A = this chain, B = another copy of it.
Amino acid sequence: MELEVKVTEAIHPYDIAQQITGLHDAEKTLAFLKLKGTLKSDVFSYLNKSEQQQILRQLGNKEIADILNSMSPDDRTQMFENFPDKLIKDVIRLLPDDERKLALELLGYPLDSVGRIMTPYYIQAYQHQTIRELLKQIQIHGKRAETLNIIYVIDENKKLIDDIHIGVLLLADENSTIASLMDWRFECLRSTMNKEEAIHLFEKYDKTALPVITENGTLVGIVTIDDIVDVIEKRDTEDIQKFGGLEALDLPYRDTDIFTMVKKRAGWLVVLFLGEMFTATAMGYFDGEISKAIVLALFIPLIISSGGNSGSQAATLIIRAMAIKEISLRDWWFVMRKEIKSGLALGSILGSIGFIRIFIWQKFGFYNYGIYWAPIALTVSLTLLGIVMWGTIAGSMIPFVLKKLRLDPATSSAPFVATLVDVTGLIIYFSIAALLLKGKLL
């Protein structure tokens, strides 16, 4: 078990950062200052934003400059997001000229664009270079590059013209030129492209890094897949939170103060509440029926929740499939047919169970639904069939409608679909009841 000890002996900066986060506020900066040399910047990049800000505010200028300087440009840009403007300015000022220029340039890209997560440290080559020259160049600049797996070939105007896998380079004769290895085919991202678009391209091209070009083809940086991992997790967190019926938090749960937390949740909760008020209105129209047949009221929660549940199932499936580009707008009819079949099957299952439930309760005396128990059971049963079908269709189609309107499909959250189905569900219920129980209970 010699190995065990070695692995645990080497305390990783991540773990130190975790320990610092666990300390009392007053002790955090002190503990951080005790760290030696490069460990400081390593640990710093693992701290979360509130700790980073707190520590930055208490450090001397020299120390701040050292830490920021040894962070990679993409990590630095990421860190600045959500920082107060004043702090960003104060801090950027401390960087050496070239790094400051770089930091400001990266911050100049739109917030959700690929430009924000790119790094300018990659290996570039020219057609006329020999492989020997390039390998020498890699020895000099390679240490800082984020990946050595791919070399990017540019022309004299810095236009990207090819990408070459390092394996191809290593296998070739050292005296041949880069030009002899080129196939003039490459995949790339655009600097102004949305970060989430980049996810799909990384998956499509199955690369660990992709070059970033401007509108006129100039190579300005590369994006590595480890930064895309963060983009994926952020997208999924946002989608999940939206789907849960609240605004995306932006910050981790831990770091979100109670005021923001309530604000992000109250918005949708109030909207849904106002929407759900129509159920009270709808039921107001039917209060005559309810007073004549109290028994109808008993099944209201059961019925509307079944519609809501089937709707939220359908919405989940479609929203996720859209997010990972598995289905697109033009698939709506394919989905519609599939969901009608599913809804029919699911509705029949619940409808049958509903009928059996009332039958058993009546037969074994758990509850007395009166002499009209059979038409009541039929009403509940048919309503369930109808509402599950309606929930399924609504849940699966609303994401398409939202996408068509260029809104985020994830907004059609489980609670949103449920609310919509609740109101219409009541109307379905009382309409079927009016039809089947006319002259009996009603």
Query: A residues within 8 Å of B by Cβ?
Result: 3, 6-7, 10, 12, 14, 138-139, 142-145, 147-149, 159-160, 166-168, 170-171, 184-188, 202-208, 213, 217, 224-226, 228-229, 232-233, 236-237, 239-241, 243-246, 249, 252-254, 258, 261-262, 265-266, 268-270, 272-274, 276-277, 279-281, 283-284, 287, 290-291, 294-295, 297-302, 304-306, 308-310, 312-313, 315-321, 324, 326-327, 335, 338, 341-342, 345-346, 349-350, 353-354, 357, 367, 388, 414-415, 418-419, 422, 426
Contact = CB atoms under 8 A, between A and B. Distances in A.
A144 B159 contact: no
Given A241-B316, A277-B302, A305-B272, A7 B188 contact: yes
Contacts of A294: 287, 290-291, 294
Q: Looking at A207, A244, A298, A418, which has the most chain B CB atoms within 10 Å of its CB?
A: A244
A76 to B, nearest CB: 14
A279 B302 contact: yes
A237 B240 CA distance: 10
16 contacts: A6-B184, A6-B185, A10-B186, A14-B204, A139-B171, A208-B208, A208-B226, A240-B319, A246-B316, A252-B326, A253-B317, A258-B345, A261-B338, A273-B306, A290-B294, A308-B418
Given A204-B12, A294-B290, A342 B262 contact: yes
A3 B266 CA distance: 49
A243 to B, nearest CB: 7
Q: Looking at A6, A14, A159, A273, which has the most chain B CB atoms within 10 Å of its CB?
A: A273
A239 B240 contact: yes
Contact of A315 (B244, B326, B353): B244
Nearest to A339: B261
B10 A185 contact: yes
Contact of A143 (B168, B305, B316, B321): B168
A142 B159 contact: no
Contact of A318 (B236, B249, B253, B321): B253
Given A225-B226, A299-B280, A306-B276, A244 B312 contact: yes
Nearest to A423: B301
B345 A262 contact: yes
Contacts of A324: 233, 237
Nearest to A317: B253
A297 B283 contact: yes
B338 A12 contact: no
Contacts of A167: 142-145, 148
A312 B414 contact: yes
A342 B287 contact: no
Given A148-B167, A253-B335, A305-B415, 6 more contacts: A148-B166, A208-B224, A240-B316, A254-B326, A276-B306, A294-B294
A367 B270 CA distance: 22
Contacts of A301: 276, 279-280, 283, 300-301, 304, 422, 426
A258 B298 contact: no
A326 B273 CA distance: 30
A284 B367 contact: yes
Given A269-B350, A294-B287, A342-B262, A277 B6 contact: no
Nearest to A169: B142
Contacts of A354: 273
A206 B229 CA distance: 10
A269 B326 contact: no
A359 to B, nearest CB: 13
A6 to B, nearest CB: 6
A112 to B, nearest CB: 19
Contact of A313 (B244, B277, B315, B319): B244
A203 to B, nearest CB: 7
A170 B135 CA distance: 9
